Amino acid sequence: MNSDIATASVCFGLYDKNDIIGFMAVLHQPNADNPKIKRCSRLVILPDYQGIGLGTKFLNLIAKYYSSSGYDFCIVTSAKNLIYSLKKSDEWIMYGYKRTPKSNGAIDGNRKLRDNCYTGRFMYNKKEVIDAERR
């Protein structure tokens, strides 16, 4: 991972009083099937604040914000704890889970691809969908 983010990103901060403890960048990711989709392109929580659910809560908050504005919201992650948390949640639908192939140090754009790790793809489950399933 590098520190560059796309200039089109909308950025959000998570704070503990006046100190920033988390960061999220979101990109508009339209495609032929869905012109109204946003994707979390970067989610970072400082190490001292990891493991207590702040990343998931932060992600849920931003997903609800975009969902209430009429967008679909997704994330692709290789963070094992986030994959586990989102798999358990009624608020997220997993639509892909795979192991990345060995890349032999291949470069994708400006990023070195991670070798042999699992990635999970999730779509935020809009409240209307959750309520319909509970009936």
Inform me whether the pLDDT recorded for 109 exceeds 80.
no
Distance CA 71, CA 64 (A): 9
Contacts 24+ apart (CB under 8 A), 66-70: 66/26, 66/38, 66/124, 67/124, 67/126, 67/127, 70/36
Total-model pTM? 0.79
Distance CA 133, CA 10 (A): 32
| pLDDT of amino acid 9 | 93
Over residues 41-65, the pLDDT tens digits come to: 999 999 999 999 999 999 999 999 9
